[in-house]
Structure 1
Amino acid sequence: MSTLALPSNPQPPRAVVFLLALILEAGILAVLALCLRPSPLPRPVITPPMAVQLVSWPHPGATPQPSPHPPSPRTTVPIAPKPVPAPPRLSPRPPREVKVPLRTPRLAPTKRVAPAAPSTISRMPAAVTSAAASPAVPALAPSPPAPAETRPSIPAYARNPAPEYPQSARWDGEEGTVMLRVLVSVSGLPEKITVAHSSGYSSLDRAAEQTVRHWRFTPGTRDGKVVPMWVEIPIRFRLNNGS
């Protein structure tokens, strides 16, 4: 058998030795640089300036002495105001007389006015109206003569009963006048009755209305013809001292 002979002392290559030497040298240089670097100087401390104030102390022996003469008070003299001169008085001027010429007014020529024609319309009571109204007449047309009317009346021979005084009204002392508005027919009978003015008491109004329903009238006429007409009749209720 053949055997391999190994060297007893192997030597490292030169490149490795050279690299180790460079590393060692670099480390030494770094240590020297740190040792030789100067230490940083400490920052100076700035102290603020001190303020010094001098105070003078009074001596104990020196005391202020009051002045023997007190100061005289000051007197103020008021200054009188200057008088204001009065305004000069002006004498009033006499008023001037102004002469105005008198003018005679001119008189307008007077116009002759024809006398108004006498009205032929007879005055009728405002509360009484006719059942048949007259037709409207133009304003410019002359008014026709009013028809001759005869109002309804109560004949003297008619025995119309007097209204009875209600017993309750007697006890209560009620008095008054009832104004009735009655439509008289052509036969002289009351067709319609209304209270135009109340007495203030319903019992008196009813008594007057019931009484007039039994009355008889003379019918009214217009142009000689008998027509139904309205007429107002007052009924008075009054208590006597003995009643």
Structure 2
Amino acid sequence: MTMMPPPVTVQAVQQFADFDKKRNKFAPLMAIVVLHIAGFYAIQSGLLSRVVTAAMPTITTISIIAPPAPSVPKTVELSAPVPKAVIPPLPLIAVAPSEPTITPPQPTRAEAAPVATAAPTAPAAPSPTPPAPATPRTVSSVEYIKAPQLVYPNLSRRLGESGTVVLRILINEKGLPEQILIQKSTGYTNLDEAGRQAAQRALFKPMIENGKPVPVYVLVPLTFQLS
């Protein structure tokens, strides 16, 4: 009698599918657990250290020893022995004793020659000094050929300046004013300068002494007065 397999129900198919899913889900986890167990066993048994030792390369230490330096022979200079000089003995000469002689001192050349004395030189004649130039004398008055023409400065006129300036004038042999000095000022620079310029334009009659014209000084007063 043939037995028939039980009918496959929908519930059984669903349970089988759930089991398959759980198996696929837990398969990686089980593999990890198995690997951890195998590693722990390898550490405990020393298998892992032997594998690492076998995999590491063997280190060989090589020492290089330098050959010794060749020895250099030393050069030693041998000094030749210096022969000693042989001095022959001097012969002895017999000298007869002589009587001492006295030599009188010879006069020196300075004592023998007469001393030459220099003749006294005559004093030089003094050179004649040129006569000192005579200083022109000062006269009280001179004659005009062209009298000074005063020009009143406009500024001094507006300011009301006035006064008398006394000029010391050197008149040369030609009657020209060679030098003009201010003997006494008016107190105003413009008036003093105007008086000096007026005297510069003047012409004097030369002073005659012994028939010759001579330079003289003269004092010339010039008055500035407002009209």
TM-score bracket for the superposition, by shorter chain length = 0.3 to 0.5
Higher strand share: 2
TM superposition score normalised by structure 2? 0.38
User: Would you tell me which structure has more helix in proportion to its own residues?
Assistant: 2
